[in-house]
Amino acid sequence: MANKTVIDLLEDFSFRHAKIDQENERRMKNDADIMELEEQKRALLAEKLKRAFLAEDTTGLDADIMELERRQEEIARKKGLVVPYACAACRDTGLVGRKYCVCFLREVYQTIYGAADVNTLAERFDRADFSVFDGEKELAMGRTQRALAELAYGICKKYVDAFPNTPRLNLLLRGKAGLGKSYLLRCIATAAREKGVDVCLIRAGELFSAFFKHRMGEEMPLSFLQDAQLLLIDDLGTEPMTQNVTTEYLFDLLNRRLEAGRHTAVATNVDDLQARYGERISSRLESRECAVLLLDGMDLRLRR
């Protein structure tokens, strides 16, 4: 993958926008009905210029010009001449006002950080199938594996449904590998995307590799990770530990997000977070702001 910067991405977007505009203009110019209205519009514009020069009132002309433009657009729409932008919100510029559009942020997450493409995830809450979990043997808290999964599912679903006014700011999904934690995170990502939330779903490996690049002085902005409306970190604990990077950067990210009141959900198979990351990080991951969900039982991948 080419090493793109945020500036490169913004350029890509404005190029896409210009290309669609050009194509639309070309199509308009090839349509006789639209061009006939264009002639009338030009005549009115010339008249407007003249009146403005004589300091006369032009409001009536303005209304007529707008009406002609409306009719041009109507014809273009009816004849199917208009090429739509991929994103109606930003018209493929990547910007809405002075803010980055959600579609642009998604491309930053994927291209700059290697985050998941949340537009193509297959996991959805309404497709969850609990029959794959054992419903017989009692495990933690006197519940079966299926009951624990259903409980976690319910809390995760509620979290997205209520977003951004979630009962707790953060979520921590714990349990061994193969118990459905990643599945739940992906369901959250899909549901959040459908709500229009700015969501970044990233595996710990990619996250720490971004940290490492930043540490090595490479061009790697971390602000997008700090500012994402909803950050989902999968597989925390599978990343290699790097001295002076792992704990410092992770603490900084979690702390900034907590202080800014931004939502973060983490899935981890690490039992003892304090032993691996130290007290500062574990206290943030397990703080009162965080709903802790435990998944337990048999690895689904082994059962199948």
105 sits near Zn ion (criterion: CB under 5 A): no
Residue choice 28, 37, 44, 101 for contact with Zn ion (CB under 5 A): 101
Instruction: Name the one range near Zn ion by CB under 5 A: 22-30, 34-42, 81-89, 152-160.
Output: 81-89
The backbone torsions φ and ψ at residue 172, rounded to the nearest 5 degrees and listed phi first, read: -130, 115
Instruction: Decide: is 89 part of the binding site for Zn ion (CB under 5 A).
Output: yes
* Member of 6, 68, 103, 201 binding Zn ion (CB under 5 A): 103
Closer Cβ to Zn ion, 82 or 128, answer by number: 82
87 is an interface residue for Zn ion by CB under 5 A: yes
Q: Which stretch binds Zn ion (CB under 5 A): 93-101, 135-143, 235-243, 265-273?
A: 93-101
- Report the alpha-carbon distance of residue 112 to residue 110 in Å, rounded: 6
Virtual torsion, Cα 231, 236, 239, 243, nearest 10 deg: 90
Closest CA to 208 of 269, 256, 265, 249: 249
Q: Contact region for Zn ion (CB under 5 A) — 34-42, 84-92, 139-147, 233-241?
A: 84-92
At residue 34, what is the residue type?
I
CB of 16 or CB of 213, closer to Zn ion: 16
> Which CB, 101 or 231, lies closer to Zn ion?
101
Tokens of 263: 């939502």
Closer to Zn ion at the Cβ: 102 or 151? 102
250 binds Zn ion (CB under 5 A): no
By CB under 5 A, tell whether 90 contacts Zn ion. yes
Crossing angle of helices 204-215 and 246-259, in 10° steps, is 100
In whole angstroms, give the CA distance from residue 279 to residue 248.
12
Number of residues that bind Zn ion (CB under 5 A): 5
To Zn ion, the closest distance from the beta carbon of 12 in angstroms equals 12
- Which residue matches tokens 């809405």? 96
Beta strands 99-100; 95-96: pairing state: antiparallel
- Strand, helix or coil for residue 149: helix
Nearest distance, CB of residue 131 and Zn ion, angstroms: 39
Strand, coil or helix: 269:
coil
Q: Which residues bind Zn ion (CB under 5 A)?
A: 87, 89-90, 101, 103
